[in-house]
Structure 1
Amino acid sequence: MGSKWRKMKLAIGINMCVQLPKTIDHSSSSLPSATTFSDRPSPSTPTSSALRLSRSKSKSSKGTCAICLNSMKPGQGHAIFTAECSHSFHFQCITSNVKHGNRICPVCRAKWKEVPFQSRVSKVSHDINRINSPRNDSWTTVLGRIPPQHVGTGPQNASSHNNVTEPAIFDDDEEVLEQQISVTDDMNEAERNAINKMEIRIYPEVSAVPKSASHDNFAVLIHLKAPRRKQNSDRNNNESPSAQNSRAPIDLVTVLDVSGSMSGTKIALLKRAMGFVIQNLSSSDRLSVITFSSTARRIFPLRRMTDAGKQDALQAVNSLIPNGVTNIAEGLKKGAKVFVDRRWKNPVGSIILLSDGQDSSINSSRPSFGNDYRSLVPNSIHRDNGDGLHIPVHAFGFGVDHDASAMHSISEISGGTFSFIEAEDVIQDAFAQCIGGLLSVVVQELQLEVQCVHPHLHLGSVKAGSYQTSLIDSGKMASIRVGDLYAEEERDFLVTVNVPVDKSSSEMSLLIVKGVYRDPVTKEMVALGVNSEVKIERPDVARDVVVSIEVDKQRNRLEAAEAMAEARAKAERGDLTGAVSVLERCHQALNETISAKAGDELCIALSAELKEMQERMANQRVYEQSGRAYVLSGLCAHSGQRATARGDYSDSTSFVNAYRTPSMADMVTRSQTMLLRTPQPVNVLRPARSYSDRQPKK
């Protein structure tokens, strides 16, 4: 019932996308109304405020161009075209839209008999600049009648992006800007170091082990936190030049499903979400748009998001019309080709993939558990391909009919994330969270090295989730390939060692952690700090033993993730009862841990998440519709320790916000504010204080 009510509210609110077209009388000879312009030219740059949509006043859509999403109020220097279906647009926007091959209304999808002449755009612009009197406030449009063969509904006309000319080699990317490194004058050296410094801490599970005792599988936690970047941007405007220079620019390729199942509200919401993405990219970022249905097309080349770039990107996205079946493999192939063929390269590269269906190239029925989806992902972007591009695919499964197993595998193979968009109206928030991270990359190619200090110490295991690890030198050393980190993003790795009996000293050095990463702005290699050695006391009798809550809660996280994976395997075999039992046992054990009893936020989030998964495994129908996708998105979040969108994203709960960085939270708030919704609590989870800070020593 809640889902139906949400969709009803959505239909009422997004008046731009779901207005019913008026009946068009093809025998009528009446022309659309005149266009108007004012004496004061203004930039055509879309702004954040131009994307705000009213949910209660229909006049807001009438005063907003549905193509560029800017205001159409008189006095802003733009001619206005009102079509025969009564919807209005900027004259320049609609003529450009027609140039992209669109011959129907972008709002109501009504077929037009008449469209503006392309040749009049230059005259309109000339006249706007020439006329200075406010009394000259109208101008009659010149219209061209569409030949009958262009108004058909056959396959060749069903999707306007099929008319886009596409080169054989995508080497037409726009040249990147040379980044000028910005150093803020009002910051002293200590403040600059605080911004650029990467935090590393090491925690032993207990502070002391008696000299005469050994301790097998002694856990040591390695905690990392990426540097923050200075925020110089205004929430209601694009980033300032200094803010752009303080972060690494991105090459973003969006691979979008425009198959027939995306028709109606879905395609409208996708266009709106893409508008938000475009608006929040800066002039140093580049964007390319790939669409796929039965085949794939590049409808927008890799261009910088300048004012003109944003305008053209918005027009290209608004020309999309759903048609055909779903071919994810072709879409990813073309998206990877953009990166392979590009002549220039920004420091950060990523693919956003969205689909609401199952890939037709695999099978018409849902593939069985354990199916190999590697064929969907081009070799050039495989994470384990040493010569690959290292371009992560952030996959978004849209609705209940998408193939969650395929989308999760695509993200896993490429090193990206998988998000489950269950409620259609939260797609923009999900995209916002993703780009909030991508636009804040501060660490690249991070490589950790863990080395035993004591000569009789050996590493037992390295628990690093989905990150590649290797033990070398007979277990005396381990390496962890971490990769990229967003601003203030955190990573926790748990290693175990066997602590031997040692009566020679009152203190033992266990491990030392070294690391190096590339700064994406300066391109320099940076070494981690030197304060990365961990020691424990070796008293004759251990009296004042301090238990680490950090180690305990990370154990809980790893055990919860293992329980989720085990439950998923049982559910895929049809044993939902066994799957629920696994989750319930983990939930009970979690509540008995010291970190849970101390009220740790991560433990509370894990507990709620385990309960939610149990509910989504209530029966086979529920599991097929949402349980599988929800569990896979959770597994992706925990294995990569990176935020994913799950479930009904608008009903914010603590586990949805796990791993969310401040940059992500800020972008989600911006999205929710833009949609005139009350921002949900973001509750970025932070490491709890040490157990020694909460409990007196024993």
Structure 2
Amino acid sequence: MGSKWRKVKMALGSNFCVYVPTDNTEDSPPQSGRFSGAALLSPASEQWNSGASAAAPRPWSPALRLSKSLSRSSKKCTICLTSMKRGEGQAIFTAECSHSFHFHCIASNVKHGNQICPVCRAKWKEVPLQGSAGLDIPLGGTQISPINWAQDNPVMTIIRPFPQRQNSNRRVAAPIFPLSEPAVFNDDEALDLQSSTKNIDTTDGSSFKRLLLETYTEVPAVSRLTVVNDFTVMVHLKAPVSTFGVNSGSTVSQVNQNSRAPVDLVTVLDISGSMAGTKLALLKRAMGFVIQNLGPADRLAVIAFSSTARRLFPLRKMSDTGKQHALQAVNSLVANGGTNIAEGLRKSGKVMEDRREKNPVASIILLSDGQDTYTVGSSLVSGSTQNRSNKSNLPLLIHPGVQIPVHAFGFGADHDATLMHSISEVSRGTFSFIETESVIQDAFAQCIGGLLSVVVKGLQVIIESANPNILLRSLKAGSYKNQLMPDRKSGCIDVGDLYADEERDFLVSINIPEETGFTFLNETSLLKVNCYYTDPLTKETVKLVSENVTIKRPENLGKENVVSIKVDKQRNRLQSAEAMEQARIAAEEGDLTRAVSILENFRKVLSESVSAKSGDRLCMALDAELKEMQDRMASRHMYEHSGRAYVLSGLSSHSWQRATARGDSTDGASLVQAYQTPSMTEMLTRSQANLVQPAWSSLTSEPRPR
């Protein structure tokens, strides 16, 4: 036995390529000739061997024992994360560095010339290519088949370099991806603007329904002789509904792409050394899901960054061909180097700024699992209370003049949550915390579910006093930019884009004067609210004007004058966010005891509120989230490991009133569901259905081997 194992090692170490059809003979000599430095072990080779001539030399049997040993093991393919067992009908490729993969996985991974092992980073001299009869082998490679094997069989091939003939007339196909980047990224694929306008689907009218605008006062009446200095009026907005995803099944081809605004999306992906292995495999699968769910009018660009950044894939429409090329680009990613977030962001901003044409919706998705090791760290003191004042430095990370939301995803326990959150806040994007690797695809799905359903662009809310004696005291709008005029007679809130069915609630604080003498009326006019926005499909400017917000002014108040639950729960949301921020500041200063106390004290206040006592689901979810934050502040290690990121993703969600991934789930808490739109929920459902399918299906457009 020992002698046989020595022969196997010699074969693998002497630049032999051993093809091993199943055979029970143990004494056949090795084939003569010099092949590749890798072993291809295939359980399907019994079929090949049965068709061979009986006189044909048999392969060396000790390698067969190696094949059986591999197929019996519980070893998993690093790329698709499924087991490599005998009898599954999938060939196994063992590289010269001794690491093994499913052949179709590694063949897809190296088809763009990547010659680095995904596991140990060793540089290979020969790489595999999946081929079949009639398939041209690229220049610089050769197909090697065992003697007497059927040449019309879809046999796996090994590619190895050989000298190119100087007089060869063989034409070399142009590479799919350019070897060098242009100085200006104005090579974006042209939009079919006439076709997109002509084909707008208005049959259901969903995209052309108006924004819903409603107002609520905290109580329906105020006594005629009472002066109130801090009275709350709530402005409620709800975006039009959309047919996106409704009864559409699981394939994007069934979704009416003309019923929504097309998207320009740039993904900025961390491929530093810490992403190697499972993380990178799951990122590729998640990107595969994103690509497959984009429509033919959507455009995608891919930026990969480690120590530097590179535009791996230009802004291209996601036609069938575009999707195939995008999948190939993503599948070629290899993890190595440091983490240069700034360069990745700058390059993504340049893609957006240099593009010749623009889709109605544009966004950037940023994912990183590590601390920035280059320029960003110097502009922000991680975890410091100085973050707010230093946010002015962040726009420099994105190309000047580009106002594109960056939806940042912090991956794992080692990312810089403070930096990622600040980037998203400045750019009007969201920050999500992906604690568990397995939910990265769900997190992406939730995000693009929103981006693919934008029905309102550039929403502005104008609030004006409807009474000469009433002044606006404050606008409580979370992270949305807002401004009060110096005379406090008017103010505005810059809301921006809304996804289909998305809701926004803003609180306006005003004073209510006393009604005296002969001027008193049965009611007092308070405010007037106007909205302006653009329909992204028709480019139509829409104006909505509300009726005057009024309040009853009886001399005596009745029992029916109760606090509005709608207003009260939004006040609780804003106060919860304030408590989270105060607790975060205390934790960053090292006082975890005070941080936990702040959260505990507000939970008591929350429990006594009118909306909480009524059993409001948002209040119950807020309490559960505050409790989770307390638990994640139990120790300094726990706070550094996950508490900071969990708090910041919660702040991002509440301040923008938009769903984010939180911890190890995207839909496990009713709080997150409170911000989820139907299109987000539909895309999450697709993602979770996709996850039960083999991982390879998200990474390659090629058919599964049978």
Q: TM-score range by the shorter chain?
A: 0.7 to 0.9
Task: Work out whether residues 381 and 391 of structure 1, in 8 Å CA contact, stay in contact via their aligned partners in 2.
Answer: no
Aligned positions of 1:175-186 closer than 5 A: 175-178=190-193, 179-180=196-197
Task: Work out whether residues 84 and 112 of structure 1, in 8 Å CA contact, stay in contact via their aligned partners in 2.
Answer: no
Amino acid at match of 1:176: L
> Matched residue of 2:336: which SS?
coil
Change (3 A) 1:221 1:182: farther
1:219 Cα deviation after fit: 0.4
Mapped to 1, the partners of 2:441 and 2:14 lie a distance apart of 37
From 359, 368, 389, the counterpart of 1:346: 359
1:216 Cα deviation after fit: 1.4
Task: Work out whether residues 207 and 242 of structure 2, in 8 Å CA contact, stay in contact via their aligned partners in 1.
Answer: no
Residue equivalent to 1:52: none
Aligned positions of 1:502-521 closer than 5 A: 502-503=515-516, 504-521=520-537
1:533 Cα deviation after fit: 2.7
> Matched residue of 1:378: which SS?
helix
Residue equivalent to 1:326: 339
Residue equivalent to 2:592: 576
Q: Tell me whether 1:629 sits opposite 2:645 in the alignment.
A: yes
Aligned positions of 1:573-652 closer than 5 A: 573-649=589-665, 652=668
Q: Tell me whether 1:542 sits opposite 2:557 in the alignment.
A: yes
Mapped to 1, the partners of 2:359 and 2:423 lie a distance apart of 23
Change (3 A) 1:106 1:278: farther
Residue equivalent to 2:453: 440
Task: Work out whether residues 161 and 319 of structure 1, in 8 Å CA contact, stay in contact via their aligned partners in 2.
Answer: no
> Matched residue of 2:314: which SS?
strand
Amino acid at match of 2:679: S
Residue equivalent to 2:159: 144
Residue equivalent to 1:151: none
1:573 Cα deviation after fit: 0.5
Mapped to 2, the partners of 1:450 and 1:250 lie a distance apart of 31
Mapped to 1, the partners of 2:484 and 2:254 lie a distance apart of 45
C-alpha deviations, 1:640-682, integer Å up to 9, x for none? 11111111116812223331111111111211121129xxxxx
> Matched residue of 2:675: which SS?
coil
Residue equivalent to 1:101: 113
Aligned positions of 1:298-377 closer than 5 A: 298-361=311-374, 362-363=376-377, 367-369=382-384, 370-371=386-387, 372=390, 374-377=392-395
1:508 Cα deviation after fit: 1.2
Mapped to 1, the partners of 2:292 and 2:460 lie a distance apart of 34
Residue equivalent to 2:405: 392
Larger Rg: 2
1:428 Cα deviation after fit: 0.6
Task: Work out whether residues 509 and 536 of structure 1, in 8 Å CA contact, stay in contact via their aligned partners in 2.
Answer: yes
From 260, 272, 275, the counterpart of 1:247: 260
Amino acid at match of 1:574: G
C-alpha deviations, 1:403-442, integer Å up to 9, x for none? 1110011101111011111111111111111111111111
Task: Work out whether residues 471 and 479 of structure 1, in 8 Å CA contact, stay in contact via their aligned partners in 2.
Answer: yes
Q: What is the aligned-residue identity percentage?
A: 53
Mapped to 1, the partners of 2:134 and 2:392 lie a distance apart of 48
Change (3 A) 1:236 1:533: same
Amino acid at match of 2:540: E
Task: Work out whether residues 411 and 417 of structure 1, in 8 Å CA contact, stay in contact via their aligned partners in 2.
Answer: yes
Q: Which sections of structure 1, spanning at least 5 residues, go unmatched?
A: 1-22, 37-56, 68-73, 75-79, 126-134, 149-159, 383-387, 678-698
Q: Tell me whether 1:378 sits opposite 2:396 in the alignment.
A: yes
Q: Which sections of structure 2, spanning at least 5 residues, go unmatched?
A: 1-10, 20-39, 46-70, 82-87, 139-149, 164-174, 694-706
Amino acid at match of 2:496: G
Mapped to 2, the partners of 1:237 and 1:210 lie a distance apart of 59
Amino acid at match of 1:256: L
> Matched residue of 2:300: which SS?
strand
1:58 Cα deviation after fit: 11
Count of aligned pairs: 593
Q: Considering only aligned residues, what root-mean-square deviation do their CA atoms show, in Å?
A: 3.7
1:144 Cα deviation after fit: 3.5
1:471 Cα deviation after fit: 1.2
Mapped to 2, the partners of 1:62 and 1:572 lie a distance apart of 41
Mapped to 2, the partners of 1:381 and 1:484 lie a distance apart of 21
1:89 Cα deviation after fit: 5.7
Aligned positions of 1:464-543 closer than 5 A: 464-472=477-485, 474-503=487-516, 504-528=520-544, 530-543=545-558
> Matched residue of 1:180: which SS?
helix
1:399 Cα deviation after fit: 0.6
Mapped to 2, the partners of 1:568 and 1:537 lie a distance apart of 42
Change (3 A) 1:448 1:124: same
> Matched residue of 2:663: which SS?
coil
Residue equivalent to 2:462: 449
